[in-house]
Structure 1
Amino acid sequence: MMGLAIVWSVLLAQIMIALAMAFALYRIARGPRAQDRILGLDTLYINGMLMLLTYGIRTANTLYFESALIVAVIGFASTVAFAKFLMRGEVIE
């Protein structure tokens, strides 16, 4: 009984994360400013990381946890680079 509840809760979490990814894609496409688009991109990579984590829980495969960690590190670095580019106009001084 408990195993079935976990399967359904992970599936529901994946559906909600997919919906959040769709909203983030909408923000990227329709954002009125560049800051809104970067915020949408930041949200999209976080939701992608969460999707990898829930898929790793669902399949009981640890490879997805490691790939989610890599996505988190690369996403953080890209957000910092985009923010620096918007503030100063260049990434590397």
Structure 2
Amino acid sequence: MHGFLLGAALFLILLMALSLYRAAYGPTVVDRLVGANAIGSKTVVLLIIIGHLFSREDMFVDIALAYAMLNFIAVLAASRYFHKRKGLDAVEEEITPRIHWD
């Protein structure tokens, strides 16, 4: 069982590296936010796997829950900040241009 969990943890680390690339080089602000959120979600699962490998599920689950709440609040704050700066509106215009019927 430990071998399977270790393999799953290594696979999650690989997926986190791909999400890190998306968060660093994403073409839009939304891509960067999604990449950062994906890294946070995978980190929560990785913390729970590490807790099981060290037989300390109780401590690592608490840490994972606190990290998940902080990640959620950070992504909400960042998306609200970029929305207020009109960064997300400009991206939305690029993706779905509005048709003006003059």
Q: TM-score range by the shorter chain?
A: 0.7 to 0.9
Larger radius of gyration: 2
- Give the CA deviation at 1:89: 2.7
Amino acid at match of 1:51: L
Residue correspondences, number:
85
State the percentage of identical aligned residues: 25
Q: CA offsets per residue over residues 37-64 of structure 1, 9 Å max, x none?
A: 1110000111111111100011110211
The answer for the alignment partner of 1:70 in structure 2 is 66
Amino acid at match of 1:64: F
Q: In structure 1, how many angstroms separate the alpha carbons of the residues matched to 2:2 and 2:27?
A: 39
Match for 2:33 among 26, 38, 43? 38
Write the mapping of 1:1-93 to structure 2, written as runs, cut at 5 A: 6-61=1-56, 62-89=58-85
- RMSD (CA atoms): 1.3
Amino acid at match of 2:84: R
**Over 2 Å off, 4+ runs:** none
Amino acid at match of 2:64: A
Using the size of structure 2 for normalisation, the TM-score is 0.78
